[in-house]
Amino acid sequence: MSISSPSITDLINLTGRTAIVTGGAMGIGRGIVERLAEAGASVVVADADLEAAETTAKELVEHGRSAMAMYADVGDADDVHRLVADTIGWRGRVDILVNDAGIFPSVPVLDMTPDDFDRVIRTNLRGVYLCSREAALRMRHQETGGRIINVTSIDALHPSSVGLAHYDASKHGVWGFTKNLALELAPHGIWVNAIAPGAIATPGVASMQAAGGAGVDPKAVLDAFLAQVPMRRIGVPDDIARAALFLASDLSSYVTGAQIVVDGGRLLA
């Protein structure tokens, strides 16, 4: 290591930076919020469930972190504009955007209505476009540029189950969008990357499993899944949060247009 190289502590220090995490109230989003705040960032917990966002922000503040809850429907252009403007009003800048907000209702294509399809695309893909564009418009005028991190899925690379065709389409779209946006924004000092989680234990996944219907044995489903994961465990939100911290910090100073797969080896099976 060169004597002039920054220390590990400096590399992961986000003090003075401001982050927006969509879908930040629960699950993966909350895990990311907690890690970024721990590293010193002021974090906006943006969520369509404002009450849950306020609870998360309040708990962070009680632990000495800098956090603010804001309502955001990421598929609504006016909402997204207000979210970024209010973040600038709160801390004067936006350095990190994590696009985590997403939905994954399970329905086979032959039973899927156009509204079902549009609702998933609106949140999962249009939302990433709207938030990324609005944040990048501000980041490009900052001397330090910025970081955009899009949460995709292993479904952006390989389907995991029937019933998620609209979800898979949205996540493939986000991965393509990530790569092209990385090309466009690199000259402005804005790095754009993605994280592709495998199965992560979150409230949303638990709800989907509970809605599996009569005759569905959740334990049998989980056992069958774990048999295909070389690490033999389901992921937790902090597994994704650690990857997000890497991409948000100076540890990833020469990384853009990349997708980090965090799935316990599931895609190898």
| Residue 136 contacts residue 149 (beta carbons within 8 Å) | no
pLDDT at res. 212: 53
Domains of the chain: 9-203+234-264 (3.40.50.720)
pLDDT at res. 243: 98
In whole angstroms, what is the distance from residue 175 CA to residue 191 CA? 14
Q: What is the pLDDT of residues 16-70, one digit of tens each?
A: 999 999 999 999 999 999 999 999 999 999 999 999 999 999 999 999 999 999 9
Q: What is the pLDDT of residues 109-150, one digit of tens each?
A: 999 999 999 999 999 999 999 999 999 999 999 999 999 999
Q: What is the pLDDT of residues 141-197, one digit of tens each?
A: 999 999 999 999 999 999 988 999 999 999 999 999 999 999 999 999 999 999 999
Annotated active-site positions, please? 167
Which pTM was predicted? Answer: 0.93
Confidence category of residue 214, pLDDT binned at 50, 70, 90: very low
pLDDT beyond 70 at 208: no
